[in-house]
Structure 1
């Protein structure tokens, strides 16, 4: 662009700071402050500038001004002496394999190879629980002849049952494929690492060579005798195909697309087992219906595909059993028992069972007549002299976390918002020992963790810089993925004793704790649901580390009645999401017709009868919904009816299914691309970037119209033409700037609002592609760093769908342009750096500094001594760091280790390039 769009415009930032109010195009309840505002408030600054990080180790050792946590004491009728919490307690252990030989994984009944049993043992799993044995030995389960639905509490060992069943199938047949479906990217990545450890050194050499059609596939793979585990998720541009993995670990969307492709090309015959984890999400209003569609397709196949569904929060499991025509199993067993508590007005009430906890909460709320013996608290949190702890709920949260950490255990605190996370983490860190008081080994590890965080492209977060020396971290979506991973690892390794997280962490990642503390049990303004409450509590207790888990629900008076209702509430009954939205039925029908699973009225009826919808609604309403959906699909030109009354997918219908779009989104995308092809603006970046910005809602896109206006004023002629082409008017933006709102009552108004949203997000993508660091983009647009990173990754996945759409529609040039910008977005760089950006750790700013220092090719990096790369990496750090001599040496060691990884990565890429050159000669 003429004005160099990659530059961070000071004028925009100043204008945004002068007018911080933003106006949104959709209603968002409980709007949160930006992370930058939170940090400036927490640290006493308000400039919005990036931290300088001129902080030496002596400053870290000193830490922020200390506070004293309130003491937690027993009530008068309790025995004197140390708290029972500080003493290890004995519980009856699970029967061992010496008592019951069939609890050993090596028992002949399970038929697992010795190497697999050894791998499990190496990872700490030497035997199974009795419930796992009974579940695995259910009728037809181990043989794969019967489907299975089972429910067990969080931490009860659900995953091991599914792992054994998948590995049994894959080890029985060289051609066999298994698929594990998980709801979140973080869980997919974690599970891929786990399964790769499980299958290490396993060989299938004795299974023969497979069928003739597959010999070439195996010959193409040098690891043909190993079990290959591959992760599929939206943010990655995974090149692996159905033939290149044995166990595919997928997000819901990727799994559904993979199944569609496999049915379409007939490779589905190799699929032997599908595991649906977190099966309760099948009635999730946004994504759950895709799980239902996947399972329905499996039930429609002529071959046997074992479907295994599991969850910790299933209620009407018999409905799922009937639908999937399988075996069901339920258990409430937990290897680590949980003690539950209610904390109110500084008093801690113990409940051995949930019913007692409910009774206590009911009496506190005045619902029933109180009795002195039942209401007597076991312990009391003393009031605090510090004004920071004037709120009794906050005072209890800090005191409980302090007690846990000082006793040597891990505490997981759930807060209702990102701002709450950081505020709680700061206050908890101020009552814990400073870095100088910590064990020397822990000191070293915490300084190492700070160095790793500092070496990230975003630099060291100001709040983490204050909390980590005291052993406290926080984890929320406002942090980048790299920051969240480092914090989670630090907590899991015991470097951090307290992790404060948003409620969504309970479902998104596996971080168990000795003590789980719920700060008001809210997510934003709303009380959490019973399923999420159970998942949060389920994080208490670490197998192999703790003998007991503890949960503390800290609530205030105004919430008591709501808390009582929440605790009394049963888990929601699962039902089909297809019943609530006709568009989902349209997608279900379109997918079945596009992949030729249903082509006639008879086969379509059979398909619909195998959905969970057929067990959740009356037959007549389903028939009417199907008739209306078929008419709508035909009107939208997605399907056609031939002379034999059979259904055929149109080119557009196939393109929408191949790209995994919803039909409604597909209509909008098709219209946008058709319009673009008539007058595509090729002399700039904005039109391409706009076209691979997602069309669906990204969590309620909030537009800062002041920033938008300033960016518009700095657009070059090409960018302004794109705006005009899309119908985005400066006059409308000016009205929005002065407090107006975009109307979204008609379909046309909704489309216009969607275009403003997409263009605003495309401006952020433009900056990323032009090497503006993520933290700068976040600061410029007033968004959390993690939100900007999520936007970039979501766009990568969406662009992959757009490319497929263009290919199926015969728009190859458009697809090639989108593909190029996907690479640029992933690299965060301009075109000249794309080759360098393939190297591990070399992205965006780092790639540019490598280029500027003469390392302009992969070969140049591959042939460099890693020590030569350390000064370059030092230049690439986002801030200048003044460290003492000892810490400077440690920092250099970290960078040297990073340089070695970079050099190794470059060598591997270079070798592949040289081999390709030889093959081409």
Structure 2
């Protein structure tokens, strides 16, 4: 049986997929390596296995097929494989009847068209078109809280994942934006993927809303909206990563941002005195506020809003809040809690091949206690509901793996979606391979679904990073997928093209893909148990409103983990607390920011700011005062702030540069010292010094240097690269020592900084390859890094590079900023300098851009002036053909590519026209 096309795979930050499409896919044209990596290693075995097709001429790549497996049967107690508890028909053969939620017929306030919500008819229609025809009773009660609809009160609320909590924030935020033609709103989310998804959602929500629509609801405001040049009333823009776009109110009405970008945006609008237009701030996943790594920025952001002295409605929400009262007091608002879920969840514990009911924590604890007890119990043992038969296959002898595979197989074959969470990348790979081997072969799928899967594989292969050849056969060891791939796979899973996705536990908070069944392959993330909040995140993905009548979770547990599972399931989600006075001393950044943006410069104003932090509501007053005093002294010692003759605090140029570049004071000090050294001898006749400057300085402890790869690359460095090593104090003799099994000393500050330089240079070597168009999987293979980690490195460096460029500009180092800016473009495009212009065109990234260049389309103007039909042969070359089932399928594929060529042509025309206008203006 071929490796199965129903399977998508996710790793730490990305989705790992396309394994499911192998039997159907036939590769034509040249490989990625043949096209753009002339000096790359020889293609792997899979890429070399090519045969000639007498019908089509070009070589066709045929994937190897993995031997098939048969999933174990799952039988109900009593031997029936059909009937379940109490003899009821299985939910897979007869869906359960779920009590209906009250409708707007019974309660008019459950309709968003009710006058009390004052929403335009078009907006209500858009919500209905997206499936929201009525709201839940809890949403009504929450929205009608005191002063909320009028924006007079802040709100903090908690609702389970899948319970519809985002809609409440959306309605309140849109009310604020619609109430005033100049009103703006900021929505902060923790992950880039969530930002991108939310931007798409909100754009659909506000699509087509015109000033006439506003006038129908509020005639008194029609005059104001008539002054708007654009027809749409609400413009939604996303801000994340290393974007060079400078956020200005003129460009958008709602800014959907990552936490870092939201905090930076608030600093900007306070500095330029345009903050008066801000009317709403939404903080999603606000439980992250006690995350010292980045979540603490939520506290800084909200506290600055509270200090403004103007009405800005703050809406904070989360699925995992225990001490909501603390947030209510801090935000001086209204609070609301609900446990409502529109789709009920059935929870199960799987142990030693037996499935036990765990509908509540109490029943789970009772079951686990009985299972784990070694003594004789007077109570009868917990009765299991179903039993998973042992497998006859050697590969599935492990009862936990056998259970995971059997449960996933049962769900997918029934036509439902399933998410499998694993503890590690290796676990994802192992589970994905095993599940793929038991699912139906590609040829058994519905022809429509076959075509969708083939189209998805084509899209994956055409991405700028290329598709890992091994990924087309199976899941490569340690591999990961790019953001673009994750988006494609997420869409494929959400629309039913794919049925199974395997993810690491840490990804549960960064995805929004509910499933009929969620399977946990043990309760660990790496070697450690997941926390209660993470466990809720994973289990909360079960159940799809509108697609499933119920959700199911299965926690597959080993005997050694029974007691740990008892503690985990019994544990409450930790209460939130401020981390501004943690080991990282985040209070320093808080104080430096408000001084730099001049929100507070006197000691009285600083004290007032501190009194409005969550810290002041959760820590001893004396302790807070001591930390503030110590932090102010240290900021002065480091030269970040000074005291003027009026005893007010003022940020120095260095202090302002640190705030503008969104660096922590400690990191800013290190970066300043590194850049000062670089200014004295910056190596500009190569790329290594610039790329080294772009490498991050945080979280490098997880980066393990492959010293053999380091040595091999060092030996191939040109004179420019060797000079960079020398300037950084990196010595070949040390690399040789490490190659022999030595270790880098990190006892002193100097030794720690030197170790950091070796790690950063190792990452810079990888960035060099990315900028020179090496496919991500080749870079990962070359340096022994997980593929997902390499892509994450590139994305992280884009944001870090943007901060470094801002730092240089603020310090007055314009020449260095310009040099860094050029390489920032190369890093984002993943291409050499000659392709930067082409890479700005929609659908044209590094790999595709190189093919256009090789075919004579070397400028934006050349593509803009070409007929889309002229671009079709290039796209055919860049995008290998899929299996040709019928002639009409071949034509359909060409029609899709022609539509893509038209989009490329239109995008090139827009860019070309802008360039022409700019040239005219400069003349």
Provide TM-score, normalisation by structure 1. 0.90
Larger deviation, residues 484-493 vs 116-125: 484-493
- In structure 1, what is the equivalent of residue 274 of structure 2? 267
Q: Against the structure 1 CA distance between its residues 89 and 60, is the aligned structure 2 distance closer, same or farther, given a 3 Å change threshold?
A: farther
Cα pair 1:601 1:646 within 8 Å, conserved: yes
For residue 199 of structure 1, what is the aligned residue in structure 2? 206
CA distance in structure 1 between the aligned counterparts of 2:375 and 2:258, rounded to whole angstroms: 46
**TM-aligned CA distance change 1:899 to 1:276, over 3 Å:** same
Distance in structure 2 (CA, Å) of the matches to 1:759 and 1:314 = 42
Which deviates further from its counterpart, 663-672 or 364-373? 364-373
Deviations 1:591-639 (A, max 9, x none): 1111111111111111111111112211111111111111110000000
C-alpha distance in 2 between matches for 1:238 and 1:420: 39
Q: How far apart in 1 are the matches of 2:375 and 2:325?
A: 35
For 2:142, the equivalent position in structure 1 comes to 135
Partner of residue 107, structure 2: 100
Give matches, 1:118-517, under 5 Å. 118-204=125-211, 222-223=229-230, 225-366=232-373, 370=377, 373=380, 375-462=382-469, 464-466=471-473, 478-517=480-519
1:639 equivalent to 2:635? Answer no
Q: 2:28 is matched with which residue?
A: none
1:613 corresponds to which residue? Answer: 615
Whole-Å separation in 1 of the counterparts to 2:789 and 2:63 = 32
- Displacement of 1:495: 1.1
Measured against aligned partners, the alpha-carbon deviations of 1:36-71 in whole angstroms (never above 9, x if no partner) come to 9x99xx99xx99666357499999899642211111
Q: In the comparison of the two structures, how many residue pairs are matched?
A: 871
- 1:913 CA displacement: 2.2
1:840 aligns with 2:842: yes
CA contact (8 A) 2:412 2:418 kept: yes
* Structure 2 counterpart of 1:865: 867
Contact kept, 8 Å, 2:462 with 2:848, in 1: the verdict is: no
Cα RMSD after superposing both structures: 2.9
Could you say if the C-alpha distance between residues 918 and 775 of structure 1 is closer, same or farther in structure 2, counting changes exceeding 3 Å?
A: same
Moved more, 424-433 or 134-143: 424-433
Q: Write the distance in 2 (CA, Å) between the matches of 1:106 and 1:516.
A: 36
CA contact (8 A) 1:474 1:499 kept: no
Residues 466 and 776, structure 2, Cα contact 8 Å, conserved in 1: no
What is the CA–CA distance in structure 2 between the aligned matches of 1:339 and 1:737, rounded to whole Å? Answer: 53
Match of 2:605 in 1: 603
Q: Distance in 1 between matches of 2:495 and 2:681?
A: 56
Distance 2:214 2:515 in 1: 43
Match of 1:648 among 644, 647, 650: 650
SS in 1 for 2:156: strand
Aligned mates of 1:697, 1:178 — CA distance in 2: 32
Q: Contact 1:475–1:502 at 8 Å: present in 2 too?
A: no
Distance in 2 (CA, whole Å) between partners of 1:858 and 1:696 is: 38
Match of 2:682 among 669, 680, 691: 680
Alignment partners' CA distance in 2, 1:551 and 1:458: 35
Q: d(CA) in 2 for partners of 1:530 and 1:607?
A: 33
Q: Aligned match of 1:727 in 712, 726, 729?
A: 729
Alignment of 1:737-752 (within 5 A): 737-752=739-754
Moved more, 66-75 or 773-782: 773-782
Contact 1:61 1:435 in 2 (8 A): no
Alignment-derived partner of residue 65 in structure 1: 67
After superposition, the Cα gap between the structure-2 partners of 1:476 and 1:300, relative to the gap in structure 1 and judged at 3 Å, is farther
- 1:94 deviates by 0.9
What is the CA–CA distance in structure 2 between the aligned matches of 1:784 and 1:379, rounded to whole Å? Answer: 38
* CA distance in structure 1 between the aligned counterparts of 2:691 and 2:766, rounded to whole angstroms: 10
75-84 or 641-650: which moved more?
Answer: 75-84
Which structure 1 residue ranges, 5 or more long, are not aligned?
Answer: 1-30, 209-216, 468-472
Partner-residue secondary structure (3-state), 1:73 = strand
User: Is residue 89 of structure 1 aligned with residue 85 of structure 2?
Assistant: no
Label 1:474 to 1:566 Cα distance change in 2 as closer, same or farther (>3 A).
Answer: farther
**Counterpart of 2:663 in 1: which secondary structure?**
coil
Q: Deviations over 1:865-889 (max 9, x none)?
A: 2232233234445x89886775765
Deviation at 1:679, TM superposition (A): 1.4
Deviation at 1:475, TM superposition (A): 14
Aligned to 2:35: none
Match of 1:658 in 2: 660
Q: CA deviation at 1:117?
A: 0.4
SS in 2 for 1:577: coil
**Alpha-carbon distance in 1 for matches of 2:753, 2:374:** 50
CA contact (8 A) 2:63 2:472 kept: no
Q: 2: CA distance between counterparts of 1:652 and 1:435?
A: 60
Which stretch has the larger CA shift, 838-847 or 457-466? 457-466
CA contact (8 A) 1:421 1:474 kept: no
Secondary structure in 1 matching 2:47 = coil
Q: 1:164, 1:81 → 2: CA distance?
A: 42
| Residues in 2 aligned to 1:762 and 1:458: alpha-carbon distance in whole angstroms | 18
**C-alpha distance in structure 2 between counterparts of 1:367 and 1:180, whole Å:** 52
Secondary structure at the aligned position of 2:520 is classed as strand
Change (3 A) 1:758 1:439: same
Give the distance between the partners of 1:363 and 1:699, measured in 2 at CA.
42
Matches of 1:502 and 1:153, distance apart in 2: 21
The answer on 1:51 being equivalent to 2:58 is: no
Q: Given the alignment of the two structures, is residue 116 of structure 1 paired with residue 123 of structure 2, yes or no?
A: yes
Structure 2 gap ranges (5+): 1-10, 24-41, 80-84, 216-223
Q: CA distance change for structure 1 residues 405 and 275 in 2, over 3 Å: closer, same or farther?
A: same
CA distance in 2, matches of 1:556, 1:719: 51
Determine the C-alpha separation between the residues in 1 that align with 2:203 and 2:479. Answer: 27
Deviation at 1:35, TM superposition (A): 12
Tell me, in whole angstroms, the C-alpha distance in 2 between the residues paired with 1:911 and 1:224: 23
Which residue of the other structure, out of 521, 524, 531, is the alignment partner of 2:523?
A: 521
- Change beyond 3 A, Cα 1:250–1:897: same
Instruction: Indicate how the Cα distance of structure 1 residues 707 and 98 shifts in structure 2: closer, same or farther if over 3 A, else same.
Output: same
Offset from partner CA, 1:254-295 (integer Å, 9 cap, x none)? 111111111111111111111100010001131121111111
What is the aligned partner in structure 2 of residue 626 from structure 1? Answer: 628
2:918 partner SS: helix
Q: Residues 332 and 151 from structure 1, CA distance in 2 versus in 1: closer, same or farther, beyond 3 angstroms?
A: same
SS at 1:517 equivalent: strand
Distance 2:783 2:867 in 1: 40
Aligned residue in 2 for 1:912: 914
Q: Secondary structure at the match of 1:230?
A: strand
Q: Give yes or no for contact 2:603–2:648 (8 Å, CA) kept in 1.
A: yes
- Describe the shift of the 1:305–1:572 C-alpha distance in structure 2 as closer, same or farther (beyond 3 A): same
Instruction: Tell me how far apart the structure 1 counterparts of residues 327 and 478 of structure 2 sit (CA, whole Å).
Output: 33
Indicate the larger mover: 514-523 or 787-796: 787-796
